[in-house]
Amino acid sequence: MPGSIQSLERAAAVLRLLAGGERRLGLSDVASSLGLAKGTTHGILRTLQQEGFVEQEPVSGKYQLGAELLRLGNSYLDVHELRARALVWTDDLARSSGEAAYLGVLHQHGVLIVHHVFRPDDGRQVLEVGAMQPLHSTALGKVLSAFDPVAHNEVAEGELAALTARTVTGSAEFESVLELTRSRGWGSDLEETWDGVASVAAPVYDRRRMPVGAVGVTGAVERLCDADGIRSRLVAAVRDCARAVSRDLGAGRF
């Protein structure tokens, strides 16, 4: 593979840096964080600003991400075929399960949420489209790790950080979780990511039978579980939804 364009790589690094750090960053912060000369950094920031990818606070001179990114991110959703096919099915899933439904795809070292249906009959909720979830502790992430070799690579190379007391952190133990996920065809998360929160998910396949994402529901552990773990009614609803989306993508009958 021939080399990449240096200035573009650096611009991308600037954007990621701005996305990571909570607060706004100054020119010198950016330059020193990336090990670039101030002049170089300024040129990149100036261009990014001109294009709308970065905004500068007039008073302090600090930089932050720009609105054009939001617009382009929205355009990404418009084109996303998996998401388009899943819209109606996830809506049904949320209604029939009474829980919030999510659609996630592998992105870098985590699960990117590309669609989120609010829990019916519940008040204030934050839309999580565009947010990332860990691969090793959520139901969506486990399903992707179990069925998508690329995701499996990602999770094998990373740390299994303990997010709650119940997070699986041993890699051998995690492999057996994935084995279980593969054998029964769905994944679960019982308070392994957030205390009091459980989730169930199942894989979505494209027309070549390759796993391309996962759908699932997330909610309070008291509602999702009974004495035997995840309620089987929910598991069935999630798997039905995953099958329906897969069929819509052309994966054919199971």
Partner DNA sequence: TGATGAAGGTCGACAATGCCGACCACCCCC
Partner DNA sequence: GGGGGTGGTCGGCATTGTCGACCTTCATCA
- Please report whether residue 5 would count as binding a second copy according to CB under 8 A: yes
User: Which residues are CB-contacts of 233 (< 8 A; sequence separation ≥ 6)?
Assistant: none
- The CA angle 153-7-59, to the nearest 5 degrees, is 105
Tell which one of 1, 37, 165, 172 touches a second copy (CB under 8 A): 1
Q: Which stretch binds a second copy (CB under 8 A): 50-58, 134-142, 215-223, 225-233?
A: 50-58
DSSP conformation class of 59? T
Q: Which is nearer to a second copy, 107 or 247 (CB)?
A: 107
Q: Which is nearer to a second copy, 10 or 182 (CB)?
A: 10
DSSP conformation class of 128? -
Tell which one of 17, 29, 68, 247 touches DNA (CB under 7 A): 29
CA-based end-to-end distance of the chain = 39
Structural tokens at position 212? 């391309």
- Please report whether residue 4 would count as binding a second copy according to CB under 8 A: yes
- Please report whether residue 46 would count as binding a second copy according to CB under 8 A: yes
**Looking up tokens 């899933």, which residue turns up?**
93
- Please report whether residue 46 would count as binding DNA according to CB under 7 A: yes
178 touches 139 (CB < 8 A): no
Q: How many residues does the chain have?
A: 254
Q: Which stretch binds DNA (CB under 7 A): 22-30, 158-166, 171-179, 240-248?
A: 22-30
The dihedral through the CA atoms of 151, 129, 199, 126 has a sign that is positive
37 binds, among DNA, a second copy, none (CB under 5 to 8 A by kind): DNA
The minimum distance between CB 43 and a second copy, in angstroms, equals 6
Structural tokens at position 204? 């979505």
93 touches 117 (CB < 8 A): yes
Q: Where are the alpha helices (DSSP H) in 98-214?
A: 139-147, 149-157, 171-184
Tell which one of 130, 185, 223, 240 touches a second copy (CB under 8 A): 130
- Please report whether residue 7 would count as binding a second copy according to CB under 8 A: yes
For binding to a second copy (CB under 8 A), which residues are involved? 1-2, 4-5, 7-9, 11-12, 15-16, 18-20, 22, 24, 43-44, 46-48, 50-53, 64-77, 79, 91, 105, 107-108, 112, 114, 118, 124, 127, 129-132
